[in-house]
Chain A
Amino acid sequence: MDVSILSWGDTGWGDEFFFATLMTLAVATCSFLLGLVIAVLAASMKLSQRRWLIFLANIYTTVVRGIPELLVIYLIFYGSGTLLMSIASSLFGIHDYIEMPIFLMGVLCIGLSSGAYSTEVIRGAVQAVPTGTIEAAQAMGMPVLVRFRRILVPQTIRFALPGLGNVWQLTLKETSLISVIGLTEIVRISQIGAGSEKKPFIFFITALLLFLILASLSNRAYKLLEARAEKGVRVN
């Protein structure tokens, strides 16, 4: 099999693949962070005392985890432009054709789905924090915010890390779905390359290998993070 097609420069696809990999990482990182923000909100809703907040958060996690991501992607892809245009015309009287940037759409789709999985992880982690430590802080007269920052957050992070590691791997793989709306990440660039060079096997196997590399690298980074979070904790 001829691999010179993957060389760097004008004749090869090496540089295209390199930038597509960066794009995959960028989408994955932004979506994961957006997901975390959503997850903190949704998890605190689930842990609140208000019935309707719990209900709303449950609807979010059930629906997003229960329907295929592709459906959500198509919904946002076909729907966001129409929605933006109707808002623009009713509020500002603008009737131009507006389209959401593909990158933003992609991050929104994957972030929504990543957030639903992170919500459950964070909820579980908060519930795993021993109440004794919080009561001890209360007994010492720690104000709520300090208690939150010094007692609840560090322990939650430690308990949530393994689950969040899984969510990251999931998010990384899910970014591949964004290729259907045309964002040039790893899968899209291999489709383009496979089409123009008529060598689909070599392009898709490269894409597969790139994902294996990303997964292994993030696994290693995650081990470091975990070791850091366990600093000062007795583990057997």
Chain B
Amino acid sequence: MDWDIIEESIPAILHALPVTLGLIGTSLLIGFVLAVLVALGQLQKAWLISRSAHFFVYIFRSSPLLIQIFLIYYGSGQLRDELSAVGLWHLFREPWFCAILALSLNTAAYTAEIIRGGIKSVPMDLLEAGEAIGMNKQQLFRRITFPLAIRQALPAYGNEVILMVKSSSLASTITIMDITGVYKEIASEYFSPLEPLLIAGSIYLLLNFIVTQLIAYFERRLAI
């Protein structure tokens, strides 16, 4: 154990914390909004909408996130002319944009399944009661289905957030210097991987601990 390396890696790794938090926060936010749309799409009666929502979920859940990131970041290079034509190339050139896009789509697919399960768990008689007192479709969804579905989906969503904390590390493979990126740099520079791992690993463990506590807090607050 070399204390000099530990001393040197603490500020460097802490410096990368905002990058990791930014990746996680932004993709969770975008991913959640997308997930609600996809889950609703899956439950639509219209064949085309429900099929394409299911297809989206199938693709993103059955393939590794690393390939999704590479496909968006490197793969878009082959489609440069097409992307320039629609004015999107300057976005796909940015590793940040590609990482957030891949992470958001990935978490959207997993979260959509969780939300769909939550929506399906809402008892029919509650909806019938809502209808009986004259609520329209939007009111039923906003006042009955959505709040109950979210409560039901919360524990599973907590697991998904923990997975996202871990998944955000893959952004380091496309040159983003998040905690894992900085860790790799230090580990290969000093050729001693253990000391910086203690720092980087504890930060990830701490993040996940905070996530579990937050989810537990919301579960208690929203207890039915």
Q: A interface vs B, CB < 8 Å?
A: 62-63, 65-71, 74-75, 77-79, 82, 169, 173-177, 179-180, 187, 190-191, 194, 198-202, 204-205, 207-208, 211-212, 215-216
Q: Inside 8 A of B22's CB, which chain A residues have their CB?
A: none
B76, CB-defined interface residue at 8 Å = yes
A100–B121 Cα distance when bound, in Å, is 50
B205, CB-defined interface residue at 8 Å = yes
- Binary interface profile of B, 143-174, with partner A (CB < 8 Å = 1, else 0)? 00000000000000000001001111110110
Interface residue from A67, A177, A204, A212 paired with B74 (Cβ < 8 Å): A204
A79–B208 Cα distance when bound, in Å, is 25
- Binary interface profile of B, 183-222, with partner A (CB < 8 Å = 1, else 0)? 1100110011110010011001100110000000000000
A70–B169 Cα distance when bound, in Å, is 7
The residue on A at minimum CB distance from B208 is A66
A68 and B169 contact, CB distance less than 8 A: yes
Interface residue from A70, A77, A176 paired with B67 (Cβ < 8 Å): A176
B11, CB-defined interface residue at 8 Å = no
B180 and A212 contact, CB distance less than 8 A: no
A223–B191 Cα distance when bound, in Å, is 46
A105–B169 Cα distance when bound, in Å, is 20
B68, CB-defined interface residue at 8 Å = yes
Given A74-B184, A176-B64, A212-B59, A200:B77 Cβ within 8 A: yes
B59 and A71 contact, CB distance less than 8 A: no
The residue on B at minimum CB distance from A175 is B64
B175, CB-defined interface residue at 8 Å = no
Given A66-B204, A78-B187, A200-B78, A71:B197 Cβ within 8 A: yes
Q: Inside 8 A of B200's CB, which chain A residues have their CB?
A: 67, 71
B63 and A211 contact, CB distance less than 8 A: yes
B201 and A205 contact, CB distance less than 8 A: no
A82 and B192 contact, CB distance less than 8 A: yes
- Binary interface profile of B, 79-119, with partner A (CB < 8 Å = 1, else 0)? 10000000000000000000000000000000000000000
B126, CB-defined interface residue at 8 Å = no
Q: Inside 8 A of B77's CB, which chain A residues have their CB?
A: 200-201
The residue on B at minimum CB distance from A174 is B64
Q: Inside 8 A of B71's CB, which chain A residues have their CB?
A: 201, 204-205, 207-208
Given A63-B205, A71-B183, A211:B197 Cβ within 8 A: no
